[in-house]
Amino acid sequence: MSGKLSRVFLIVLDSAGVGGAPDAAAYGDEGSDTIGNIARVRGGLTLPQMGILGLGNLHRIEGVPPCPNPRGCYGRLQEQSVGKDTTTGHWELGGLLIEDPFPTFPDGFPEEILAPFRERTGRGVLGNKAASGTVIIEELGEQHQQSGDLIVYTSADSVFQIAAHEEVVPVPELYQICETAREILDPYRVGRVIARPFVGEPGAYQRTYNRNDYSLKPFGPTVLDRVRDAGLESVGVGKIEAIFAGQGLTRSVHTEGNDDGMQKTMELADEVEQGLIFVNLVDFDMLWGHRNNPEGYAEGLQRFDLWLHLFIKRLRPGDMVALTADHGCDPTTESTDHSREHVPLIVHGPGLKQGVDLGTRQSFADLGQTVAEALGAEPVSHGESFLGQILPS
């Protein structure tokens, strides 16, 4: 199959939701609006590049008015899968729907999981509860340093998180421990095991970018598999390798935060000739959403907007950039967890139509299906392509 486009840059602004989904109340997220509420409490956002592309046309955002002649195509994606976590959102963007939610453990993990974990790792367990990562590290970090026991915690998502000081548990050992946990947890369908290394002293601990995620393997092919099988490059930037357990990728690029991710995406624009570059920018979620820091989130959005202005100049004929998110994480609400929201859809490229209102799409998978068709790959399992709406006639 021959593609209509040569390259697609699919960039996920992790957690950058644009208002509650129709079923937000069922998730306890009524009123969540990540970008909209950040703009409201800040008295407006300055996002000229995303504004020109149509961000203000797809959602009401103070400081980002609707553009009368948007240079991009714009809309919203609505999640069909059950859940509001990173894995669910990314897998649906890739064309897979999650109909049975990944299990969560609000009261901690049962002994049938912890007993083999302690036996196989040779270390004890501290915590074992739902908690904020930064809070539980401050609470138990000193005890961990004294005992060598591992800090194990979870969240509202299906995650088994293991925090350890890098001088107590070297990072390679922590990764091996996480691989062991992944084997134990596979039969329970826990979405992700996350290594959470940190450094510093009591009262001044800091998590590092040596974080690593160990996901369940996708239960079916995603757009990454389809693009790779079409003989094209399928590149994951940032957390993408971890979220998809490496499945479908021809190569992965590790990043240390948003700035590094943006720089490496810029470099890939000069390297990759054909294929998909699937990017996750994690700081929006990890540093600002979960920590209820709207100021940091706003500054991160504005920094991305400045980068986007430069990045678009690198696009070639036959390129498409698609901006979206995987869920919300509204830093203006009391909750520090993800929120069930619509996510933005902004599509732009030399030669593509401009100003097309793509509406509210009924699945995140519509984007994955569009990418597959654009690159001449086999269709993914779910989603309706909107490629015909954005290609010139």
How far is 110 from 160, CA to CA, in rounded Å?
12
Task: Please tell me the predicted confidence (pLDDT) of residue 1.
Answer: 45
- Look up residue 69 and give its amino acid: N
How far is 294 from 12, CA to CA, in rounded Å?
19
231: CB partners within 8 A, 6+ apart = none
Mind listing the pLDDT tens digit for each residue in 249-279? Answer: 999 999 999 999 999 999 999 999 999 999 9
How far is 75 from 89, CA to CA, in rounded Å?
17
How far is 336 from 356, CA to CA, in rounded Å?
35
Domains and CATH numbers, the chain: 7-100+216-390 (3.40.720.10), 111-215 (3.30.70.1250)
Task: Please tell me the predicted confidence (pLDDT) of residue 157.
Answer: 86
Task: Please tell me the predicted confidence (pLDDT) of residue 101.
Answer: 87
Quick one: CA torsion of 286, 382, 347, 5, rounded to 10 degrees? 120
Task: Please tell me the predicted confidence (pLDDT) of residue 2.
Answer: 64
Task: Please tell me the predicted confidence (pLDDT) of residue 393.
Answer: 82
Task: Please tell me the predicted confidence (pLDDT) of residue 314.
Answer: 95
Mind listing the pLDDT tens digit for each residue in 165-202? Answer: 999 999 999 999 999 999 999 999 999 999 999 999 99
Residue ranges of the chain whose pLDDT lies below 50: 1
Distance of CA 285 to the CA centre of its chain: 8
